[in-house]
Structure 1
């Protein structure tokens, strides 16, 4: 069974996410909450040059990271 990397969804952009490795079958649905803690989580897509979050925009052309209206915290 493969192991996938998940991270918590922070309540604010200044909060650091926690990371978890969770084993799941390849046809299992994506988890939205940690099975033990109930915290909201999302799967992190890994590949090539590092981690990329599947549902977050990349850095904008003006240098902001996209975590809020004024850029990074």
Structure 2
């Protein structure tokens, strides 16, 4: 199971959407209505969480100052 973010679809001008965290199986289709209240919903697509690890003794290239990465884009 994974937790997805959903927000209500405002039906009136000035109405603020409510945000919900809803657990679903990974392959389940996106919900269109809240399972309990029936409110119309849309899934919020957001950035994921990354985990970065390092190995002891491993060398890594120096960071690029422009964000292009090692071997980069030639912006130096």
The corresponding residue for 1:7 is 7
**Helix, strand or coil for the counterpart of 2:45?**
strand
Cα distance, 1:5 vs structure 2: 0.3
**Structure 2 unpaired stretches of 5+:** 49-76
The corresponding residue for 1:35 is 35
Q: Equivalents in 2 of 1:5, 1:29: separation in Å?
A: 13
Q: Moved runs in structure 1, 4+ residues, more than 6 A?
A: none
Higher strand share: 1
In the TM superposition, 1:1-73 aligns within 5 A as 1-47=1-47
Question: Scaled by the length of structure 2, what TM-score is found?
Answer: 0.59
**Structure 1 unpaired stretches of 5+:** 49-73
Q: CA RMSD in A?
A: 1.3
Computing the radius of gyration from Cα coordinates, the structure with the larger value is 2
